[in-house]
Structure 1
């Protein structure tokens, strides 16, 4: 069976046609999950005439052992937001110092990732905005759900998930985290995200930077008041 999309550019163009109600609105921001979501989101942002940026999620990890294993204490996001798992923290009984060290380490790692992918402009505020969160596909919806929780903490008023290809299970889970979920292809059986594309290759940090720069140049810069760096 032929793949639904030839490449991510076509997927983004197709998704954009499912979002005409958001075109030209001044309160819309498009955020891409790197790396694969960026070429898709670029086409959506261009069609909607909306600003484009990244939604990056970094786990907050704590090493335990022996044997050494890492426990996820929560998630740190860019835009700047922090979401901790209270049940995990209570079970571990971590000191404030240990938790602070874990958060600081995650913040450094997140900052390094963001700097590798974004030009140096500050990120625009999401306060009160309608945010379209884009990935190139999802098997279980986990990354999108994590991003949704952090984006609400960053001030987003409403969230729209936009994915070219996804499983029915993932879409069901996303319904509870987003006000709107848009998907163009729901293959049955769903095997993998790359299976939704005729050409599916890795997207580099340099490509992400180039697409963001193009989007910002065409939109008159990264619009909006800035929020703190992660």
Structure 2
């Protein structure tokens, strides 16, 4: 049996057709989950005539000891947002100093990741916008759900999860975090996201930068010649 998609570009083109009701709207922003979601989201943003950016999630970690490893205290996001896990913080009874150190380290790591993929550019404001969050597929919906909470805090008015392929249970879970869930294919049984693509190469930071730049150039307003 052949995989349903040849590559992420084809998947993005198909996904864009399912999002045609959002085309041409000035309040729409497309955000990609790096790295695999970016080639898919590029095609979606192009078809919708919407700006393209990244939704980056960075865990806030605290190391307890060598036997327990790291504990996640919350999440940081780009566009800027923070979501703390109050239950974990209360259970650990961390000092303000320890929490501050964990936040500082998480912010440093987030900045490094974002600069590697989107150097010199600032994330656009999401205040009051309809945000289409794109990945190349989902099994349990974990990455998309983490992004959703942060994007709400960043000001998004409406959240749309958009994926070419997903497991039915994962899509059901997404419905509690997103206002709309758009998915082209829901194979049963669902094996894996890579198994749904004939070609599923790793997407590099350099490729992400290139696609974001291409999207920026395409969406930039064109100067009109002065009348003589």
TM-score range, shorter chain: over 0.9
| Closer, same or farther: CA 66–205 of 1 in aligned 2, 3 Å | closer
Structure 2 residue matching 1:212: 3-state secondary structure: helix
Q: 8 Å contact 1:119–1:213 — kept in the other structure?
A: no
Work out the CA distance in 1 between the residues paired with 2:66 and 2:189: 41
Q: Does 1:42 align with 2:42?
A: yes
Work out the CA distance in 1 between the residues paired with 2:175 and 2:66: 40
> Which residue does the alignment assign to 2:173?
173
Q: 8 Å contact 1:39–1:211 — kept in the other structure?
A: yes
Q: Which residues of structure 2 form unaligned runs of 5+?
A: 222-228
Moved over 2 A (4+): none
Q: Which residues of structure 1 form unaligned runs of 5+?
A: 222-230
Task: Note the alpha carbon deviations across 1:31-83, whole angstroms, 9 max, x for none.
Answer: 00000000000000000000000000000000002425100000000000000
> Which structure has the larger Rg?
2
Q: 8 Å contact 1:3–1:196 — kept in the other structure?
A: yes
> Which residue does the alignment assign to 1:61?
61
TM-score by length of 1: 0.95
Please state how far the C-alpha of 1:196 moved relative to its aligned partner. 0.8
Q: CA RMSD in A?
A: 0.8
Task: Note the alpha carbon deviations across 1:165-216, whole angstroms, 9 max, x for none.
Answer: 1100100000000000000111111111001101001000000000000000
